[in-house]
């Protein structure tokens, strides 16, 4: 593609946007809505994908550092995963009951994740976090749970950042604290002493629009202590980070184990499935709740999930992604320094977040990511991005070579 692609150079994309506005509320809704929330050159509609690349409906190829907003952890259309999915599809997918793949996937997850004794499945991250909260309430007989603010855990009434259409009472049983702030967490626990069913946390702070914080191990340990003292469940929301940081669980390396973990996105390399895994202490509570869906038991995503987790273990995937992430981080920060435009890459390098200093209105980051998109590299201005195994050294280097021109363009704007 050219180095100067503009929105008007995306005729099919523009036509589809106009058609969508006639039949879809707001054109496209949710986190994938490109209008007004993403750089103007970011395509709304996509045609195909393979490996580390995506092609828009106008035929332009991009090095995709969003990985479908996280689900692609090996690469688009990974042959091992797709072979497993195709083999299962030939037998059946959505049937009148689960297949043996459901048992096998649960066995695999509980063998890989040290604290996990059981698993339950759903379709997306919202299912997983909601199910985990319900299990905790069932097990404890309590209603309240604590979460960091703003902390995204899904789009249901409890968690959505946009409360339009949500009755105020839906949030009445939630207590809040600041991430990585032990005193704030202790104060919230004290305020709701004896009423807490769960404390839910992301493994690092990945709130949109701001640089991201890695967890302070002391904060993680204190959260574990407080949950135990309260008889509450400690839930880790790994919907976004699952398989990327540590196959055993994001906090295993710092010696902190939760009671439940919520997974989705990458655990089947793009096939639609979510999972909650938990400890034996919550098994009875989990067995009493009613959560279900017509497609929650489909066999193809479970076969894909088994193949994905096994492949991740064979590759030592977190280490592979960390190496690629370090290469990207060092390269883009060096380019920014050379251009006199210091750029910060925060959060885990496997899931980088990009920002500029002295950019309160985000003009620099929007202009920069727009310039990168026009050069064939999909960068995001306010959300963390994602590395996949398909982002080899050669692919990362190609991305950096294209991005260098985006820094030159940004420097010329004088923002």
- Helices 182-191 and 217-230, axial angle in degrees (round to 10): 10
Residues 225, 261, 286, 138, Cα dihedral to 10°: 50
Helix H or strand E segment including 312: helix 299-315
**pLDDT of the residue at 382:** 95
**pLDDT of the residue at 8:** 58
> Can you give the C-alpha Rg of the chain in angstroms?
22
Q: Mean pLDDT of all residues in the chain?
A: 95
**pLDDT of the residue at 168:** 85
* Residue 377: strand pairing partners: 63
Q: What does the pLDDT look like over 308-361, one tens digit per residue?
A: 999 999 999 999 999 999 999 999 999 999 999 999 999 999 999 999 989 999
Least Cα distance to 68 among 51, 83, 87 occurs for 51
Q: Are strands 118-122 and 61-64 parallel, antiparallel or unpaired?
A: unpaired
The residue-averaged pLDDT of 353-376 equals 95
**pLDDT of the residue at 2:** 37
**pLDDT of the residue at 5:** 46
The topology (CATH level 3) of 79-315 is 3.40.640
**pLDDT of the residue at 371:** 96
* Residue 235: strand pairing partners: 200, 260
Q: What does the pLDDT look like over 133-157, one tens digit per residue?
A: 999 999 999 999 999 999 999 999 9
- Outline where DSSP puts E strands in 68-173: 118-122, 144-148
Q: Verify cis geometry, omega within 30 degrees of 0, for the bond prior to 150.
A: yes
Cβ atoms within 10 Å of 157's Cβ, excluding its own: 14
The residue-averaged pLDDT of 287-294 equals 97
Helix H or strand E segment including 174: strand 174-177
Q: Is pLDDT above 70 for 1?
A: no
Spatial contact of 257 and 117, defined as CB atoms under 8 Å apart:
no
**pLDDT of the residue at 390:** 98
**Rounded Cα–Cα distance for residues 313 and 306 (Å):** 11
Confidence of residue 121 (pLDDT cuts 50, 70, 90): very high
3-state secondary structure of 66: coil
**Rounded Cα–Cα distance for residues 227 and 234 (Å):** 6
Q: Is pLDDT above 50 for 119?
A: yes
**Rounded Cα–Cα distance for residues 20 and 211 (Å):** 33
**pLDDT of the residue at 415:** 87
- The domain locations on the chain are 7-69+317-413, 79-315
Q: What does the pLDDT look like over 253-273, one tens digit per residue?
A: 999 999 999 999 999 999 999
Q: Is pLDDT above 60 for 284?
A: yes
Q: Is pLDDT above 60 for 212?
A: yes
Least Cα distance to 152 among 213, 206, 197 occurs for 206
**Rounded Cα–Cα distance for residues 123 and 85 (Å):** 16
CB-facing half-sphere around the CA of 347: CA atoms within 13 A:
28
**pLDDT of the residue at 37:** 87
3-state helix, strand and coil shares in percent for the chain, rounded to the nearest 5: 45, 15, 40
Contacts of 180 (CB under 8 A, 6+ apart): 205, 213, 215, 216, 219
Q: How far is CA 42 from CA 164, 220, 401, in A?
A: 26, 37, 19
Q: What does the pLDDT look like over 53-105, one tens digit per residue?
A: 999 999 999 999 999 999 999 999 999 999 999 999 999 999 999 999 999 99
**DSSP per-residue codes, 264-333:** -GGGGTTSS-EEEEE-GGGHHHHHH-----TTTT-HHHHHHHHHHHHHHHHHTHHHHHHHHHHHHHHHHH
**pLDDT of the residue at 385:** 97
For residue 332, report the phi and psi dihedrals to the nearest 5 degrees: -75, -35
**Rounded Cα–Cα distance for residues 298 and 392 (Å):** 32
The residue-averaged pLDDT of 282-300 equals 97
CB-facing half-sphere around the CA of 283: CA atoms within 13 A:
7
- The model's pTM: 0.95
Please state which of the ranges 6-10, 77-81, 153-157, 405-409 shows the lowest mean pLDDT.
6-10
Cβ atoms within 10 Å of 182's Cβ, excluding its own: 16
**DSSP per-residue codes, 340-391:** T--EEEES-TTS-EEEESS-TT-HHHHHHHHHHHHTTEE--SSS-----TT-
Q: Are strands 61-64 and 377-378 parallel, antiparallel or unpaired?
A: parallel
Q: How far is CA 36 from the centre of its chain?
A: 22
CATH architecture of 7-69+317-413: Alpha-Beta Complex (3.90)
**pLDDT of the residue at 208:** 87
């Amino acid at each position: 593609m050219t180095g100067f692609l503009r929105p008007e150079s995306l005729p099919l994309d523009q036509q589809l946007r106009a058609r969508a506005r006639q039949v879809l509320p707001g054109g496209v809704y949710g986190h994938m809505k490109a209008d007004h929330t993403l750089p103007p050159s970011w395509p709304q509609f996509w045609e195909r994908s393979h490996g580390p690349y995506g092609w828009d409906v106008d035929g332009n190829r991009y090095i995709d550092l969003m990985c479908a907003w996280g689900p692609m952890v090996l690469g688009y259309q990974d042959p091992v995963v797709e072979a497993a999915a195709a083999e299962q599809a030939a037998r059946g997918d959505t049937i009148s009951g689960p297949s043996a793949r459901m048992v096998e996937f649960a066995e695999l997850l509980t063998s890989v994740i040290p604290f996990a004794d059981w698993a339950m499945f759903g379709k997306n991250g919202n299912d997983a976090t909601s199910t985990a909260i319900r299990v905790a309430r069932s097990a404890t007989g309590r209603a309240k749970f604590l979460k960091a603010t703003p902390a995204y855990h899904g789009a249901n009434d409890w968690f959505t950042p946009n409360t339009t259409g949500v009755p105020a009472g839906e949030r009445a049983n939630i207590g809040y604290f600041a991430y990585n702030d032990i005193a704030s967490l202790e104060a919230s626990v004290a305020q709701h002493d004896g009423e807490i069913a769960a404390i839910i946390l992301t493994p690092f702070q990945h709130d949109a629009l701001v640089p991201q914080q890695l967890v302070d191990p002391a904060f993680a340990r204190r959260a574990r202590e407080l949950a135990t003292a309260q008889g509450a469940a400690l839930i880790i929301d790994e919907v976004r980070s699952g398989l990327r940081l540590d196959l055993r669980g994001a906090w295993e390396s710092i010696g902190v184990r939760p009671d439940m973990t919520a997974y989705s996105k990458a655990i089947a390399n793009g096939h639609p499935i979510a999972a909650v895994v938990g400890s034996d202490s919550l098994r009875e509570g989990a067995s009493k709740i009613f959560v279900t869906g017509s497609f929650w038991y489909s066999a193809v995503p479970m076969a894909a999930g088994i193949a994905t987790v096994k492949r991740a273990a064979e590759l030592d995937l977190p280490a592979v992604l960390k190496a690629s992430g370090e290469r990207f981080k060092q390269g883009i920060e060096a380019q920014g320094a050379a251009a006199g435009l210091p750029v910060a890459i925060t959060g885990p390098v496997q899931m980088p977040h990009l920002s500029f200093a002295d950019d309160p209105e985000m003009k620099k980051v929007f202009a920069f990511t727009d310039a990168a998109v026009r050069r064939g590299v999909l960068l995001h201005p306010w959300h963390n991005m994602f590395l996949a195994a398909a982002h080899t050294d050669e692919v990362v280097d190609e991305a950096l070579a294209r991005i260098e021109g985006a820094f030159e363009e940004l420097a010329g704007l004088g923002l």
